[in-house]
């Protein structure tokens, strides 16, 4: 069994975090790097990640999250938000960033630039949100796995009231729609869920080989 599979076996959706154990600055930086390195459609990363460390804010979000203890007890929350309108300006920013990082002349990116503009133009507002959300979920998967490889616990949470999050965090004026969050920190010794065997579809019900 390889190290990465051991890490995935070790991880579980942590229900009880030890609220005294906090991520170090170095660990937060590593988790940011992992998130940042995620793959996305054209590399456009049409989302933002809000990292919440402030205890007052976590306490305010808890009732907006069906009172789940992870919200206030986890060290940090990584909240993935779709950019509600991803525009040609955003595509252009990405092309400029590519020019800066890779040294490719902007003229040489024209075909790629046009293709991305076409993709953005072809989507309705709803399709845009769907597309952005899927990309954010790749990053979520990456964060959960990367954290496990660093022996950091996580719990992905979709169970919250979006409008309350929007109001508490002021997401409207940032043009963001909250999608899903990962509570991140360290499991409490007495979290009984860490001892329950993982339930996953059996191979013959998950995979079809052709």
* Residues within the interface to a second copy (CB under 8 A): 2-5, 8-9, 11, 13, 30, 32-39, 41, 43, 45, 48-54, 57, 94, 97-98, 101-102, 130, 133-135, 137-142, 144-146, 149-150, 156, 158, 169, 174, 180, 196-203, 206-210
Distance between CA atoms of 142 and 149, rounded to whole angstroms? 11
- Cβ proximity to a second copy: between 20 and 150 the closer is 150
* Closest distance to a second copy from the beta carbon of 19 (Å): 18
- Cβ proximity to a second copy: between 30 and 191 the closer is 30
* Closest distance to a second copy from the beta carbon of 18 (Å): 20
* Closest distance to a second copy from the beta carbon of 200 (Å): 5
Rounded to whole angstroms, what are the CA distances from 30 to 33, 150, 192?
A: 5, 9, 28
* Closest distance to a second copy from the beta carbon of 106 (Å): 13
């Amino acid at each position: 069994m390889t190290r990465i599979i051991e890490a995935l076996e070790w991880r579980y959706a942590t229900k009880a975090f030890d609220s005294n154990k906090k991520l170090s600055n170095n660990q937060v930086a590593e988790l940011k790097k992992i998130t940042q390195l995620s793959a996305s459609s054209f590399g456009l990363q049409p989302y933002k990640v809000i990292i919440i460390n402030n205890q007052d804010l976590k306490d305010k979000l808890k009732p907006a999250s069906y009172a789940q203890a992870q919200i206030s007890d986890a060290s940090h929350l990584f909240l993935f938000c779709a950019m509600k309108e991803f525009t040609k300006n955003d595509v252009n920013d990405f092309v400029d960033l590519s020019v800066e990082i890779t040294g490719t002349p902007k003229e040489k990116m024209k075909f790629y630039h046009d293709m991305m503009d076409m993709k953005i133009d072809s989507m309705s507002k709803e399709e845009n949100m769907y597309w952005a959300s899927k990309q954010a979920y790749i990053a979520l998967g990456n964060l959960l796995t990367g954290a496990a490889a660093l022996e950091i616990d996580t719990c992905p949470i979709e169970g919250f009231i979006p409008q309350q999050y929007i109001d508490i965090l002021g997401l409207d004026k940032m043009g963001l729609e909250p999608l899903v969050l990962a509570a991140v920190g360290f499991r409490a010794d007495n979290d009984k869920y860490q001892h329950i065997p993982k339930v996953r579809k059996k191979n013959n019900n998950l995979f079809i080989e052709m």
